[in-house]
Structure formats: C-alpha cells, structure tokens
Amino acid sequence: MSETVRRKGITGYILLAPAVVWLVAFFLIPFYSLLAASLFNSDGSDFRGYTMTYEWSNYWHAIQDYYPQFIRSLVYAGFATFFCLILGYVLAYAIAFKSGRWKNLMLVLVIAPFFTSFLVRTLSWKLILGNDGVVVNTLQFLHILGPNGHLLYTPFAVVMGLTYNFLPFMVLPLFASIDKIDYRLIEASNDLYANPVVGFFKVTWPLSLPGVVSGTLLTFIPAVGDYINDELLGSTQTRMIGNTIQSLFTEANDYPAASALSVILMLMIVVMVLFYVKRAGTEDLL
C-alpha cells in the first residue's frame, strides 16, 4: 500500500514538472531580471552601461515622475471594465437563457474577433472614430459634436478601444456562470411576487457573482497595462503606464525606471486583486 502511495506521489511531481519548468523559465527568471534592473543606477546610456548599486530610490522617482500615467491607466481600465460588465452581462444572459438553439453560434460570434489580430482590430476603431467616419458625421449632424469636434485621440476613443478588445474576456466567464443557474429559481422569484429588478438582485446576481469577479479581473488586469489602444487611438495627453514603460525601454533606454514601473505595476495589481477578491467573498477563485 505504501509503495502504491509513493508511486502516486512521484507521478504527481512528474506531471507538475513541465509547468514548474515553464514558470521558472518564463516567469521567475524574467521577474528576477526585471527586479535586478530596477535597482541599477541611472547613469548608463544603454543596458551594458548600468551597474548594480541597489538604487531603491528608483521606485520613489518612478512614482513621483509617472503617477499621472498610473492614475490615468486605472481610470481608463476601470471605465472599460464597467462598460464591459454592463454589455457583457446583458449579452451573456441573453445567450444563456434566450438564444435557444442559436447558443453555440452566438458563442462563436463572441470569440470570432480573436481570429483577427489585436492590432488590426484596434486599427479598425481608428477608421470608425475618424473625423470623416460615420460616427463623427452622425454626431455632428445631431449637433452633439461641434463642426470641429472629434473623437479620435481622446480618452473616449481609448476607453472604447479597450472596451471592444476586452469584451470577450468578460462575456465568456459570465456566460459560464450564468448558464449554470437553474432558471426555475428565477421563475420561483416571480411566483413569490418579486418584480424583475428585485428578482435579479436577489437571485441572478448573487449566483453569477463568480463569473462577475472572474470577468472583471480578466478585463481589468490586461486593460491597465495595455498600450496598443492608447498608442493608436490616444495622444500624448492620454498616455497610459504601458506606453510609458514601452517608451522608457525602447526609446529612452532608461531601464531602471522602466523596470521599477513594471514591478510597481505588478505589485499594485496583485494587491488590488487580493483586496477585490477578499471583498467580493470569492477567495476560492484564487
């Protein structure tokens, strides 16, 4: 019996080995390199010119110099996540309970944008929101926008791009959660004289909460660090932290500052996720 247990234990370690090797090679080692680079001095002109001096002040300078980009990224990602939640919940509910035999087709349509490059999808929004596009022309015709009004290169364009690109990340977890709900529970709330609004918040919403938490995390986390949407749809006045990190790495060659910002961003997201999951009461998701 003990030999059988021992073999099962060894089999488990063998099965875990590829994942452990992958995490070490592509997470721990790069993270260690990033952490080390964040403590270099700031006097080098390229990566070879830096030396390890344990400059912890790099973190303070990074926050002091780039806190507007941090705040802007959180705000944009927060708005995009909220819009994705509203749109995604309605869509996921409709697919789960109202689509009937078209359920599989609608799910395919949700994930269909992933068959196209992220870059191409974002560029399409540049055409949609362009000054000569149908959206701007319609808003100008309705006098919502002035004759010289525009949508491109504004916070609105960036948030809309984030919302569109990350909407499937919200819909799929919500659908998986809502689809498991026994519709008879919703019907029972109606039989107990609950109006649709009360029934939703008393029955549907609590039962779908795991999907809400998963969807908001899958949307908010990549949206905070995204730089493609702001690069193509925004301007210098809408720069997010991802654009700043990318610029510091590739243009300014300021590796300590870029690395410090990256580490701060990761730690900030981890703390926010832990707090959010704790407050939502769904710790078992982690």
- Count up the domains in the chain and report the number: 1
Tell me the CA end-to-end span of the chain in Å, nearest whole number: 34
- Residue 264 corresponds to which amino acid? I
Which of these ranges, 9-23, 115-129, 230-244, 252-266, has the smallest mean pLDDT? 9-23
Q: Tell me what percent of the residues of the chain surpass a pLDDT of 90.
A: 54
Residue 9 domain-assigned (yes or no): no
In the prediction, which pLDDT does 286 show? 47
Residue 119 domain-assigned (yes or no): yes
In the prediction, which pLDDT does 43 show? 61
Which of these ranges, 76-80, 162-166, 187-191, has the smallest mean pLDDT? 187-191
pLDDT in tens, 60-83: 999 999 999 999 999 999 999 999
* Domain harbouring 151, CATH code: 1.10.3720.10
- Look at residue 211 and tell me whether its pLDDT is greater than 60: yes
Sorting pLDDT into bands at 50, 70 and 90, what band is 184? confident
Which of these ranges, 12-21, 35-44, 123-132, has the smallest mean pLDDT? 35-44
Residue 222 domain-assigned (yes or no): yes
Q: What is the pTM of this model?
A: 0.88
Which of these ranges, 11-25, 36-50, 117-131, 156-170, has the smallest mean pLDDT? 36-50
CA–CA dist 185, 279 (Å, integer):
26
In the prediction, which pLDDT does 205 show? 92
Sorting pLDDT into bands at 50, 70 and 90, what band is 212? very high
Residue 178 domain-assigned (yes or no): yes
Residue 1 domain-assigned (yes or no): no
- Look at residue 99 and tell me whether its pLDDT is greater than 60: yes
Residue 51 domain-assigned (yes or no): no
Average pLDDT estimate for 162-176: 95
Nearest to 211 by CA among 241, 251, 247, 171: 171
Sorting pLDDT into bands at 50, 70 and 90, what band is 239? very high
Residue 5 domain-assigned (yes or no): no
Q: Domain containing 195: what range?
A: 67-285
Residue 60 domain-assigned (yes or no): no
- Look at residue 166 and tell me whether its pLDDT is greater than 50: yes
Average pLDDT estimate for 46-50: 62
